[in-house]
Chains A and B, each alone.
Chain A
Amino acid sequence: MQWRWDFTFEILPRMLWATGNTLLAALIGYAIALVVGLIFLLLQQTRFRPVNIITREIVEFIRSTPLLVQLFFVYFVAPQFGLTLSAWTSAMITIGLHFGTYMSEVYRGGLNAVPKGQWEACRALNMGPVRTYFRVILPQALPVALPGMGNYLIGIFKDTPMLATIGVAELMHTANALGAETYRYLEPYTMVGFIFLMISLPTAAGLRKLEAAVARAQGKIKR
């Protein structure tokens, strides 16, 4: 089968429109994951131990099962309980929960990297919890957490093609539809791969720049 450029340009507008949906799904999913991660983190550090343990087990369960199966679970099981979720809603809930568990680990790693002496110093200086967090702890935890946070942004982006399976109209879904309409699969699928490469490589490079900039602002010279 030969590559056809006229066909490529014919389907380009639809592919680009779908790229917008892919990006939207990745960004909304990421925003939810950031918040869910924080909730999981806090629920693992309460004063009530059973809550910590149960949250820990839930996080472990979500982390060790496939996103695809979770996606189908949420999409098909919710209606059994009288709650009909659209494909988009199911997708965002699943991505938010799944990557929220990863995000909570990233946050935890960042917080653990702050030496204990810093907390004690804040206590000794009689700083309130808000000032302790925002002026002392978070500025030191953020550079440690940043690479992980960035990697999961790209990770979510690269997992969005799975959403096509429950009918979210993103890139992969559009490529499947175009293939079914025209019986040409070469161009749509190759274009999806190319578009992914064109977005994820610059994003990864940008994130490395951001990490370097944050490290510099912290007065640490990287490499």
Chain B
Amino acid sequence: MSYFEFIATYLPKLLQGTVNTGLVMLGATLLAISVSLVFGLMRLSRSRVSQVLATIYIEFFRGTSLLVQLYWVYYVLPLMGVSFTAMTSGILALGLNFGAYGAEIFRGSVQAVPRAQWEAALALNMSPMLRMRRIIIPQTFPILLPPAANLTVELLKATALVALISVVDLMFVAKQINATTWMSAQAFGTALLVYYAMARFVLTPFLRWLEVLAARKMGQDQGS
């Protein structure tokens, strides 16, 4: 079987896997962003309790391995009466894990906003909420986006792990094809190429565009 025949035969399956990988990626990204915002703000909070809680969360999720968390959500939580589908478990574990890393990036970027901006907002008698929303967070974007872009590519790569809890993603499809045909080079090689194309030609250009957009917005805001 030539490589073209291989692709022609397995294209529908590979496409289905790619779509599922994209879905897991999307769900996990949205969850991770929310988690980073909540725990990043908690770490910045003046309340000692929320600082400690956020630190425990972040250290816990960064200190234990993602695969362990994934297995725990999928195999152990149902024993306690909480069960999710494989896809939901995958999104949950990925989102919670990467949210912990994202929280640290978000915290760092808020702290990197110049002190004078906080003082100016205070001088203008802005409420803490308004100050955060209108002054501080918009200025974190140019600082936060480059490390966040790295993390997003890491997240895409990490989605391959959900194949191990039987989500039919790209990796799962590759494993399936390998198990039935033993054409390992074609199966896993194609998966590698698709992951590479997604990271290099979809995700990275999109994130670069966001960076440019954020930089431009900042420039305009400062100008007006």
Q: Do A and B come from one complex?
A: yes
Q: Which residues from chain A sit less than 8 Å from chain B, CB to CB?
A: 1, 60-61, 64-70, 72-73, 76-77, 79-80, 158-162, 165, 172, 175, 179, 185-186, 189-190, 192-194, 196-197, 200-201, 204
User: Is B129 part of the contact surface with A, judged by Cβ < 8 Å?
Assistant: no
* Residues from chain A with Cβ under 8 Å of B80 in the complex: 1
Residues from chain A with Cβ under 8 Å of B136 in the complex: none
Chain B: minimal CB distance from A7 (Å): 13
Residues of B within 8 A of A192 (CB): 65, 68
**Closest B residue, CB atoms, query A98:** B157
| Cβ-closest chain A residue relative to B75 | A185
Interface flags, B36-64, vs A, CB<8A=1, else 0: 00000000000000000000000110111
CB of A95 to closest CB in B, whole Å: 14
Q: Which 9 residue pairs spanning A and B have beta carbons closest together?
A: A76-B184, A66-B160, A64-B199, A1-B79, A73-B188, A161-B67, A66-B157, A193-B64, A158-B65
Given A72-B174, A80-B184, A201-B59, residue A65 in contact with residue B64 (CB < 8 A): no
Q: Which of B3-11, B106-114, B119-127, B189-197 is near enough to bind chain A?
A: B189-197
- The smallest C-beta distance from A1 to any residue of chain B, in angstroms, reads 4
Q: Give chain B residues whose Cβ lies under 8 Å from the Cβ of A76.
A: 178, 184, 188
- The residues of A that contact B159 with a CB separation of less than 8 Å are 66
Q: What's the least CB distance linking B155 to chain A, in Å?
A: 11
B31 in the interface, Cβ–Cβ < 8 Å?
Answer: no
In contact, B195 and A66 (Cβ under 8 angstroms): yes
Task: List, in ascending order, chain A residues with CB within 8 A of B200's CB.
Answer: 60, 64
Measured in the bound complex, the distance between the Cα atoms of B76 and A194 in whole Å is 14
Docked complex Cα distance between A160 and B163 (Å): 17
CB < 8 Å neighbour of B178 from A65, A72, A186: A72
Interface residues of B toward A: which range? 35 or more
B185 near A77: Cβ-Cβ < 8 Å: yes
Question: A-contacting residues of B (Cβ < 8 Å)?
Answer: 59-60, 62-69, 71-72, 75-76, 79-80, 153, 156-161, 163-164, 171, 174-175, 178, 184-185, 188-189, 191-192, 195-196, 199-200, 204
Inter-chain CA distance A165–B196, complex, in Å, is 22
Please tell me if the beta carbons of A65 and B69 are within 8 angstroms of each other in the complex: no
From the candidates B63, B185, B192, name the one contacting A196 in the complex (CB within 8 A).
B63
A61 to B153, CA, bound (A): 12
Inter-subunit contact B158/A66 (CB<8 Å): yes
CB distance from B66 to the nearest CB of A (A): 7
Using A64-B153, A197-B60, A201-B59 as known contacts, say yes or no to A189 and B158 having CB atoms under 8 A apart: no
Chain B residue numbers with a CB within 8 Å of A160 are: 65
On whether the beta carbons of B161 and A68 are closer than 8 Å, the reply is: yes
> In the bound complex, what is the Cα–Cα distance between A197 and B178 (angstroms)?
35
Q: A72-B174, A159-B65, A162-B161 are in contact. Are A193 and B72 (CB under 8 A)?
A: yes
Closest B residue by C-beta to A73: B188
Q: Is the CB of A69 within 8 A of B192?
A: yes
| Residue pair A77, B65 in contact (C-beta under 8 Å) | no
Cβ of B131 to closest chain A Cβ, rounded Å: 27
Are A65 and B157 closer than 8 Å at their CB atoms? yes
A60 and B197 alpha carbons, distance in the complex (Å): 11
